[in-house]
Structure 1
Amino acid sequence: MQKDYVPYGSDVSPGTYACVDCGHEYSNQAKTSMPPCPQIRKTPHTRHGWKTLTGQGDAAIDPYPEKANKPVGIKKAATLSSTSKK
């Protein structure tokens, strides 16, 4: 069984995918970690995933469930606390 929705960070088979938020199409070979949409900084993205257009998509049971739903390549900005002044 193929999942239609593939969250960022999922491993996928080769195929073509469309961003569920903006429709941007992405074709790839097999990936161990599906990247975020390259348009994520240009338009609002709330669902953070891809729709499978061609190929097998994501496995019904993700072999790397700890990676699923974690945006890839987006790091939290470091902040300085007011108590750390020297």
Structure 2
Amino acid sequence: MQKDYVPYGSDVAAGTFECVDCGHRYSNQAKTSIPPCPYFKKDTHTRKGWKVLTGQGDAVIDPYPKKTEKPTGIKQVETSSPASKK
């Protein structure tokens, strides 16, 4: 099943997309993450996404947009400035 709406930041395949808020068309050759509309305005672009016109769009098993995961098993090291010697 192909999604027909992909939010900004989704991983997408090559294709043609149309802004759901203003109708601007965007063709994408190969991206890992679809950008916001170049005409984005906070007050008029409330749905913040693209309609898939051609291509495969966003993968069904790939939820949008990917959140950065913190690596596991890595301990944080405390740092401090060197103490001044008197």
Normalising by structure 1, what TM-score?
Answer: 0.69
Post-superposition shift, 1:64?
6.3
Identity %: 78
In the alignment, the residues of structure 1 paired with residue 33 and residue 59 of structure 2 have an alpha-carbon distance, to the nearest angstrom, of 13
Number of the residue aligned with 2:26? 26
Gaps of 5+ in 1: 68-86
In the alignment, the residues of structure 1 paired with residue 49 and residue 41 of structure 2 have an alpha-carbon distance, to the nearest angstrom, of 14
Gaps of 5+ in 2: 68-86
CA RMSD of aligned residues (A): 2.0
Answering whether residue 35 of structure 2 is matched by residue 35 of structure 1, we say: yes
Post-superposition shift, 1:21?
0.3
Post-superposition shift, 1:66?
3.0
Q: Which one has the largest radius of gyration?
A: 2
Counterpart of 2:56, as a letter, is: Q
Counterpart of 2:6, as a letter, is: V
Normalising by structure 2, what TM-score?
Answer: 0.69
Post-superposition shift, 1:61?
1.4
Post-superposition shift, 1:40?
0.6
Number of the residue aligned with 1:80? none
**Equivalenced residues, count:** 67
* CA displacement, residues 34-83 of structure 1 (integer Å, 9 cap, x when unaligned): 1000011397100000000001111011166534xxxxxxxxxxxxxxxx
In the alignment, the residues of structure 2 paired with residue 52 and residue 61 of structure 1 have an alpha-carbon distance, to the nearest angstrom, of 17
